[in-house]
A = this chain, B = another copy of it.
């Protein structure tokens, strides 16, 4: 969290061969999370991958939760910066698509977003960028805040479900299809939807929702440059 403390206090003085560092640990953690998922990451395994003893990590990181909070901020750096001079809705679409891509690349990331406060430098940089675009478009502080909240709420909710489906949906498919036939007469509208749903494009579903929010913002907010 407080990365600045590190840079502000190099703490001159002696020491054993460092070999380990917070950045190195976080990077390896992200790598392992990408490969084997959230449930497979333990301090012991992480230490093993780093060729260190488990407890050695605790010198650089106070707790596993803190480590995850640091890891959570990492993928935010993959966000493509907004182009200069585009309208707020174009910038918003770009950022939100970028967020979705991050989530699909790092499935663990979505779950962590809902479990920790996202106040890391990269996350805040993104929020700041989004807010800037909207303020520049003429929105008030409240309008900009609420608009970006609406956008990112939708995206996080959507990709949360999407990632979850990618992980569990395929595995439980047999059970799910059984369930659907059970529910068929009791929940006809649900059944009707599920019967067709496999053919639809998830990308278009995402774009539909995103467009809804964008259109809604445009309609709800007053003067837009």
Contacts and interface: CB of A to CB of B under 8 A. Distances in A.
A211 interface: yes
A197 B131 CA distance: 13
Contacts of A149: 158, 161, 205, 209
Question: Does more than half of chain A's interface fall in helix, strand or loop, or is it mixed?
Answer: helix
A58 interface: no
Interface in A48-104: none
A199 to B, nearest CB: 10
Interface in A120-152: 121, 124-125, 127-128, 131-132, 135, 141-142, 144-147, 149-150, 152
B144 A179 contact: no
A220 to B, nearest CB: 6
B145 A153 contact: no
A86 to B, nearest CB: 17
A209 B210 CA distance: 12
Interface string A197-221: 1001000110011011111110110
Contacts of A153: 154-155, 157-158, 160-161, 209
A158 B157 CA distance: 8
A1 interface: yes
A201 to B, nearest CB: 10
A222 interface: no
25 contacts: A116-B164, A117-B169, A117-B176, A119-B179, A131-B189, A132-B189, A141-B192, A141-B196, A144-B189, A145-B196, A145-B197, A145-B200, A146-B204, A146-B208, A150-B209, A150-B213, A156-B156, A156-B157, A156-B160, A212-B216, A212-B220, A214-B216, A215-B215, A215-B219, A216-B219
